[in-house]
Structure 1
């Protein structure tokens, strides 16, 4: 963002994440899978009042040629969709499972005591530009698809037809669709790849023994990720 003659003018923004090479995950199918499993994204924009964050579920659309589009809706009262006309640059962060790692879980700690606590995690940053889709057909189709996906695990899935048509029309009128054509996907899988094999295995097995699904997911990912050392 620059200021000239008292007025703000748009410039392209670049968002970066610290990325040691051993934590980089660039396989498209792996990145797409995390987005599909963790659709609630943090939409980061830089509007006229500075940085803004909105947390909304996204639909992931991957074209046969590999292009990626993210679709979502926001409240009509939310200024983010109006600001997108002049500030379209966006970053969407999808957070996968995370887990705290204690130094006590590394076998080498008990010999040399040269380990410290850390957090392991998996995250995808999606870069692109917002296009506003303020039309009823787009929003209705998007809401229907998101609902089918989110309700799929329910014994009796809720569907839009369960509610009165006038009520659904009123609700749809209160939201606006947005579409982001993704220009860059960045994945960071911080899973102890820089640790010795025994230490990494010790921490992973400790997580797998815990009752939390999230801790177990990180433990399994640690075992699955290729080591550096």
Structure 2
């Protein structure tokens, strides 16, 4: 992922906070088998210390690719919006001379995938995921010898993704003048489509931290 200096995360806490705020769905990219395209799987994930936890159906074609090459990437994208050209026109220039762009946040985890097949280890993985996604405990006990999970566990395999590196990008025109960024955030809020409001929130948050861009 290409990252301009002004799009880089300000510190590790920035992307960690963004992930923790509920950005827990991404795309797992796995190198394809020789002569085949890469395999990409959309999936929820859970953070477990420095690792990420995933489970997928046993028939998923991703398993052979992972067994061939366990080096994978999990990408999380959010708070994105299309910014039309007129909003980005230089002060004093005709609006139609502005060049459109995309705003977004993206975090990419480069990982080594470890397949989890032991029944009790899979049950523990699910317990950790449910503690994150259903913290109220409104679910059956996950146990290898109690329904419903006793009959469901054989149909899945788990993945522990050992994170080796992280790339984080916050693309919100942080190199533009303060007035420009403030105006675009206002346009996004007023338009209010899709993820416009979260994108504007990210732009304002970064503006508050960075102020005028200084190379």
Give me the TM-score of the superposition, normalised by structure 2.
0.84
Equivalent residue runs for 1:177-188 within 5 Å: 177-188=158-169
C-alpha change, 1:31 and 1:205, in structure 2 (3 Å) is same
RMSD over aligned Cα, in angstroms?
Answer: 2.5
- Which ranges in structure 2 are unaligned for 5 or more consecutive residues? none
Aligned partners of 1:109 and 1:115 also within 8 Å: no
Residue 194 of structure 1 is matched in structure 2 by 175
Distance 2:182 2:7 in 1: 17
C-alpha change, 1:109 and 1:174, in structure 2 (3 Å) is farther
Residue 84 of structure 1 is matched in structure 2 by 66
Does the residue aligned with 1:72 lie in a helix, a strand or coil?
strand
The answer to which structure has the higher strand fraction is: 1
Equivalent residue runs for 1:169-180 within 5 Å: 169-180=150-161
Distance 2:63 2:19 in 1: 22
Report how many aligned residue pairs link the two structures. Answer: 205
Aligned partners of 1:99 and 1:121 also within 8 Å: yes
Residue 199 of structure 2 is matched in structure 1 by 218
Residue 24 of structure 1 is matched in structure 2 by 8
Does the residue aligned with 1:19 lie in a helix, a strand or coil?
coil
Distance 1:158 1:100 in 2: 39
Residue 75 of structure 2 is matched in structure 1 by 93
Select the residue among 61, 84, 103 that pairs with 1:102. Answer: 84
Aligned-pair CA distance for 1:34: 2.7
